[in-house]
Amino acid sequence: MTVDLGDARLARAADRLLGVFNTAGVLDPADAHVAARIGRLGGETDEEVLLAVALAVRAVRLGSVCVDLASVSHTVLGEGDELVDVSALPWPDPPRWLAACAASPVVADGPDAPSGRPLRIVDGLLYLARYWGEEEVVRRSLAERAAAAPPSVDIPRLRAGLERHFSAPGSERQRLAAAVSVLRRVTVLAGGPGTGKTTTVARLLALLHDQPGPPPRVALAAPTGKAAARLQEAVAAELPAELRSRTPEAATLHRLLGWRPGGRFRYGRTQRLPFDVVVVDETSMVSLTLMARLLEAVRPDARIVLVGDPDQLASVEAGAVLGDLARAPGQPEAALDAALEATGIPGGLVGGPVINGVVTLRHVWRFGGAIAEFSRAVQAGDADAAAALLRGDHSDLEFVEPDDVTGVRKDVVAAGRELTDAAMRGDVPTALAALERHRVLCAHRRGPYGVTRWSAEIERWLRAALPDAPTGPWYPGRPVLVTANDYDVGLFNGDTGVAVAVPEGLRVAFARGGLPTLHPPARLSEVATVHAMTVHRGQGSQFRRVTVVLPPAESPLLTRELLYTAVTRAAEFVRVVGTEEAVRAAVARPVSRASGLRHRLGAARTG
């Protein structure tokens, strides 16, 4: 094999195993350099141990909390747009490898070993010490809250409220989720789109206000500004009018915790948040580190309601906390079951006892048709059913080959024309609605199936269809994506807006739970034009029509969670651009993020 010494992906100073795995494309230069540096500082020269250290660094960079040394040789796929063949690499023998790591001067061996070393190995999982610590914070906080005395609840009043708010057929599990959230300190409210999670949250808040005593202080939060705005709007629409003024505006988690320059937060274990109830939406997007900071900041006697869909893509940063919590093993809680029985919710009515405070909503209220059937097939890993649905004739689901862009172009031009016309008129609500009319979602950032290529193509289509539309760096109708948090302006990574012509001049409008916010373009430092976006970027958003661009079947980024997340961004119509082989590959490839949280939560609760 010819090696290009000028290739920026090569760590030229890495030798032996680190060099081999770097040249093969498994390790990034940073992974190799960090491992070598740790080895020099800690006196570790065993090349197999240094390879394990590099893989632990790589794992965090790619979303895992740790690395499972026993299985890593057949779970490494590559990290970008290309598949990496690892079958011929000189992988160490797992038992010998684990023993060498456990004996290393840079690795603490076991959960009770003293701190002070940069890595720790527990149950065959190798962690960077920081992430072991974060996982421990989350585990301990949840265990302590589960072991604490439950909140004081007026059961007859709760029962009456449940009967009043959840009387419709099909709302049984919503009723259960609301009851568990009142009766327990921590609740996980899981479910797919359209299953009534936000409605349940709004009615839960009404139930809590109905309990004796002072009204609870409530915080609503989400990982992104867009998700927070949608949460605020949805909850406000469901709350009784007399309660809307008592519920504060939903905030991003960073704003809730009081982010400060340098990555510190105002609130934490030494200064707790003043709220009695903290509701977090889109929890699948919350990283392990952010969840640790949240649990440290929430008072031990407060209620926490974690809302989200564990089958969606996990956070961009390390961890898959919602998935771990939703799937952790556990035992029924006798006191909770008795309290539920007293509220009129026997276990048989809802399919058995509640485990770890997790309630999954299954009845779909607003999200149906072929889109719902397809998303369920993807969720269940049923590739045959998914392919059959795509090949069927449906008004809300379309499947086209990669070279068939006729329908995509039609949607793009229609949305672009509506957006431009509204922006030039200064019609902010219509422009923001047009921004969500259609969106192209890609798995890749670059290449023929990536955001860069599709954005250029869309720009070309729009110029041809709207030759008289204004141009320049800033123009009415320019759709923008915020690419970095801006706490001074109050905009956050992932927020989308549109430039509009208003009497004061050109302003960029962003949707919020109430009135849109308008900002002069000069105040926005980190924005990009958005015609297409990655599926990760689209998470937490909803669009009327969605076009999903799938890469070839061998792409490591093509996973079940990515396809499921992409298609569930659509409210009315989904178009999948790709091959049947790619669809089948995605459905058959669930994301595997290494973490010890699920197992250790289950062990703590069943032990």
DSSP-derived 3-state class of residue 586: helix
Show Cβ contacts of residue 94 under 8 Å, excluding neighbours closer than 6 positions: 69, 70
| Nearest Cα residue to 22 out of 31, 127, 44, 91 | 31
Q: How many residues does the chain have?
A: 607
Torsion angle defined by CA atoms of residues 381, 385, 388 and 393, in that order, rounded to the nearest 10 degrees: -110
The CA-to-CA distance between both ends of the chain, in Å, stands at: 53
Work out whether strand 438-442 and strand 397-400 pair parallel, antiparallel, or are unpaired: unpaired
- CB contact burial 529-568 (16+ within 10 A = b; e otherwise): ebbbbbbbbbbbbbbbbbbbbbbbbebbbbbbbbbbbbbb
**Do residues 313 and 561 lie in contact, with contact meaning Cβ atoms separated by under 8 Å?**
yes
Place of tokens 């090949």: 391
Residue 462 three-state SS: helix
Instruction: Please report, in range form, the residues annotated as the binding site for ATP.
Output: 191-198
Please report which helix (H) or strand (E) contains residue 506, including its range.
strand 505-510
Strand, helix or coil for residue 445: coil
Cα four-point dihedral sign 481, 484, 485, 489? negative
How far apart are alpha carbons 162 and 159 in whole angstroms? 5
Beta-bridged to residue 219, according to DSSP, are: 278
**How big is the chain by its Cα radius of gyration, in Å?**
25
Binding residues: 191-198
Rounded Cα gap, residues 358 and 186, in angstroms: 9
Which distant-in-sequence residues (6+ apart) come within 8 Å of 603 by Cβ? none
And the tokens for 332? 């029924």
Burial of 363 (0-12, 13-18, 19+ CB in 10 A): middle
